[in-house]
A and B are shown apart, each in its own frame.
Chain A
Amino acid sequence: MTTPTTSLAQPTTTLATAPSAWRDALRIGLIGGVCAVLVALIGMIEAFSNRNIIAGVITLGTLLIIGSAFLSGYFATRSASDSPRAAEVIGRGALAGLMTSLFLTLLALFVNAVPTIRSMFINASPALVQLLTLGQGMPAGNLLLLVVGTMMGALAGLLQLVPPVFHRSLIIGVVITILIGMMQDLLRVTFQNWSALRPVSNFFFTSNGLAPAGAATIFALAIVFNVVWSQRGDRVRAGIRSLPPAQRRALNLGLVIFGGIILLALPWVVGLFFSEVLVNVGLFVLMALGLNIVVGFAGLLDLGYVAFYAIGAYMIGLLTSTSKEIVFAGGWSFWAALPFAIAVAILAGAILGIPVLKIRGDYLAIVTLGFGEIIRLLAQSDFLKPVLGGSRGVELIPKPAIGPFEFAGPQELYYLILAGCVIAVFVSLRLKDSRQGRAWMAMREDEDVAQTMGINLVNTKLLAFMIGASLAGIAGAIFASKLAIIYPHSFNLLISILVLAVVIIGGMGSIPGVILGALVLVGLPELLREFSDYRLLLYGAALVLMMLVRPEGLWPEEARQRELHEAEEEVSLSEKLADDEELAREGATG
């Protein structure tokens, strides 16, 4: 037994053996258990059990059950990788896993014993019990779940003991296998379009889930690739960097052309349904890049961003519609109306910007929130019904066309949105490295100091709002002509929140991060229709989790990464003091 005093004296070595570590494991297992029960009761396990990840082996529902035990074990042992005793780490993981699976087992027993619980929790069904006993029936299945849960927790503990490269590779392997399993529809459809690839497709996929051999292959490839890359990656990168400039430029150009060809071919490769998904993702990429300028670059929290999307959409709607119910329906072409849509969105950006110039932080968020709602309510109001169509919206919006080519379906509209995104990326990249970008960065850090550097706050803020608004306006314009009919309720607060979540989860201020964020938050849920009921819940969970685990986002911007990891890389206080002393000595002698 260690006494408190010795554990104080040697915190790093004795912490792992202290009883508090076991208590922590128990606590985390408990939290994991409560979460897992919640997930089960809201019906996620059952809904996801229809999605086979590996055919005949595991469904997404089962994955949730055993994954919860694994995650408990993982978090319970995360901080103990330097523990001297392996058995103990594994034991703590096992304990956490056991706790979590115990909760699920108790839930199964309870639902089985009290069937009337269904009147309160509609998802507490016999099917759920079936899943929670891993299909093995009552007593045997309960035991099996406990054993599997314990093993999962122990496995997570074991994972902490292997070298970091393998640790990370294993996790990436599992995640990639699951992701590919979840996106099987998309991938299979894509492969089936090419007869040459059909055997490959048949090796990896069955009609319902990954083939076991295919899953194993993907898993192994992911691991091997990751291990090799972590050992050779630096050398490859250094090799590229040491290439003569001409060759490097050629390589870059080659990559851009390659990427461009893939982007251009994409809608025809993936087919109609997935093109629709791509268009939706693209709309959010466009909006998120715009909001990224406002929130990420300039640091102005805007919760009413949907207003500009609505304005772009309504301008296109009003100017191009041929409806008789709208007084001012213009019947113009999309291209004639687009500049006006953008201009009005920009104007709205300035109109929002002026009153909020002096408002900071939380207050700014509240005012912009109100602005977004006002725009929606105006569109909905009976008073403006003859002009804006009220709650019946604006109908008969034509599709954009260039000569005989009409952007009729998602596969054509894709190109329109792609062009918008390319413009947005270009604008963002140029702004970021410009004088204007630096002014935003300084303003984001400290408004007063930025002013005393000679930055005009009025112009700087307004410009951020206006550029952000213009991109949302373009997105709205494309959205309107895509649907051919728009309603006020398409422009609700949730859109603002979703765009903001995309920016935050992707990485504020980071252009590739924002694109990745849109793919994950908008693309994934559309690929998995089972998600749709739980979309908001999952966004919330993702936001909380990101803030806890990786607050800088999936693909962070350099400066923000610096801020959040300052504490880690930062020289300690005492080192700083030593620095100052040295500095003073230099000064005294020099």
Chain B
Amino acid sequence: MLELRDVHSYYGHIHALKGISLSVEKGEIVTLIGANGAGKTTTLRTISGLLHPRHGSIWLDGERLDGLPPDIIVRKGVGQSPEGRQIFPRLTVMENLEMGAYTRNDKEGIRRDLEHVFGLFPRLAERRNQPGGTLSGGEQQMLAIGRALMCRPRVLLLDEPSMGLAPLLVETIFNIIRELNREGTTILLVEQNAAKALAVAHRGYVIETGHIVLSDNAANLRQNDLVRKAYLGET
């Protein structure tokens, strides 16, 4: 469904992605794991059009995405929950969610999706009129995910949804990711928490300094020596 073919991205002269190829099939959860600075966020930014690749191509259901501006890519069905819960701090929870549905016009559908998001995150419903910036870290993460859902994405890109959350809350977030996938959302999940990510994902890729060094199904990756040493902290 979503496919990257030999994608190279640069920040000025910094060669951040050195030929990334990966694919996400419909209905899958695919995880991209890697150390700090490996290029995970850069990969997601390249997919969503905030960064344009210099070489390679990106495809969504046979349509080329690379080179298109971000707002068009969202309309094509790629939703993103950015790294570090970048919600709009001064807008209320409700306004943040409405911003997520910016590309849509179907009032009825938006209302239903709002209910759906509030169903997934009852805490957001309680705080609907509170400014996003005054939410707790966990609530902000929920808001970022909920906002990404409001554009009805066919593919949802999640950048470290568990970052900085207490262990119990991490559990909650991963439960919701699983739930979303059961409802039919295809998910590309970037994570530092490799153990949790590999537990929910069907397949995974390991990225190191801009290269994909490993790819396999999640069960095999969990057994892999390199993954166990470097990312699962086992000896």
Binding site for B on A (CB under 8 A): 435, 438-439, 441-442, 445-446, 448-458, 559-560, 562-563, 566, 569-571, 576-577, 579-581, 583-588
Query: Is B91 in contact with chain A by the CB < 8 A criterion?
Result: yes
Question: In the complex the two chains form, is A449's CB within 8 Å of B74's CB?
Answer: no
CA distance A435 to B171 in the complex (A): 36
Whether B172 lies near A583 (C-beta < 8 A) is yes
When distances are taken between beta carbons in the complex, the residues of chain A under 8 Å from B219 are none
Residue of B50, B98, B172 near A451 (CB, 8 A) is B50
A584 in complex: contacting residue of B80, B95, B151, B166, CB < 8 Å: B166
New contact pairs (11) apart from A562-B131, A583-B172, A585-B168, CB-CB < 8 Å:
A441-B95, A442-B102, A449-B86, A451-B70, A452-B48, A452-B74, A562-B90, A570-B134, A580-B165, A584-B168, A586-B122
B5 interface contact, C-beta 8 A: no
Inter-chain contact A566/B133, CB cutoff 8 Å: yes
Contact indicator B102/A439 (Cβ below 8 Å): yes
Contact B102 A445 (CB under 8 A): no
Looking at the complex, which one of B99, B131, B171 makes contact with A588 (CB distance below 8 Å)? B171
* Contact assessment for A566 and B169 in the assembled complex, using a CB-CB cutoff below 8 Å: no
- What is the distance, in angstroms, from B207's C-beta to the closest C-beta of chain A? 21
A584 to B74, CA, bound (A): 31
B136 touches A438 (CB 8 A): no
Residues of the B chain whose Cβ atoms lie less than 8 Å from the Cβ of A566? 89, 131, 133-134
Check if A441 sits within 8 Å of B91, measured CB to CB: yes
**Which residues of chain B come closer than 8 Å to A455, judged between CB atoms?**
71, 102
Residues of the A chain whose Cβ atoms lie less than 8 Å from the Cβ of B95: 438, 441
B71 and A588 contacting across the interface, CB-CB below 8 Å: no
In the complex, whether B123 has a CB less than 8 A from a CB of chain A is: yes
Docked-complex contact B138 and A435, CB < 8 angstroms: no
Q: Mark B126-157, 1 if CB is under 8 A from A, else 0.
A: 00000101101111000000010001000000
Contact B136 A579 (CB under 8 A): yes
Interface centre among A449, A562, A586 (most CB of B within 10 A): A449
Q: Is the CB of B169 within 8 A of A438?
A: no
B103 beta carbon closer than 8 Å to chain A = yes
With CB as the reference atom, state the residue of chain A lying closest to B122. Answer: A586
B53 within 8 A of A: no
B109 within 8 A of A: no
Name the one of A448, A453, A571 contacting B74, with C-beta atoms under 8 angstroms.
A453
Question: Is B175 close to A, CB under 8 A?
Answer: yes
Q: Does B39 contact A (CB under 8 A)?
A: no
CB atoms of B138 and A580 under 8 A apart? yes
Q: Is the CB of A452 within 8 A of B50?
A: yes
Instruction: Verify A563–B89 contact, CB threshold 8 A.
Output: yes
Residues B60-92 near A (CB distance < 8 A):
69-71, 74-75, 80, 82, 86-91
- Please, how many angstroms separate the alpha-carbon atoms of A455 and B50 in the complex? 12
**Is the beta-carbon distance between A451 and B138 smaller than 8 angstroms?**
no
Docked Cα-Cα span, A451 to B78, in Å, equals 12
**Are A583 and B134 also in contact (CB < 8 A) when A451-B71, A454-B103 are?**
no
Give the top 10 A-B pairs by smallest Cβ distance, nearest first: A587-B172, A584-B168, A454-B103, A576-B136, A451-B70, A454-B74, A579-B136, A584-B169, A580-B138, A445-B88
> Could you list 26 A-B pairs, sorted by A, with CB under 8 Å?
A438-B102, A441-B90, A445-B88, A445-B89, A445-B90, A446-B88, A448-B50, A451-B69, A452-B48, A453-B100, A453-B151, A455-B71, A455-B102, A457-B71, A559-B91, A560-B90, A570-B133, A576-B136, A577-B136, A579-B139, A580-B136, A584-B138, A584-B166, A584-B172, A586-B172, A588-B171
Docked complex Cα distance between A195 and B137 (Å): 67
Give the shortest distance, in Å, between A573 (CB) and chain B (any CB).
Answer: 9
Contact B138 A579 (CB under 8 A): yes
- Least CB separation from B82: chain A residue: A449
Known: A438-B95, A566-B134, A570-B134. A452 touches B80 (CB 8 A): yes
A435 / chain B contacts, CB cutoff of 8 Å: 102
CB neighbours (8 Å) of B88 from chain A are: 441-442, 445-446, 449
Do residues B102 and A584 form an inter-chain contact, with CB atoms below 8 A?
no
B165 pairs with A571, CB closer than 8 A: no
**In whole angstroms, how far apart are the Cα atoms of A454 and B70 in the complex?**
7
For the complex, give the distance between the alpha carbons of A439 and B102 in Å.
8
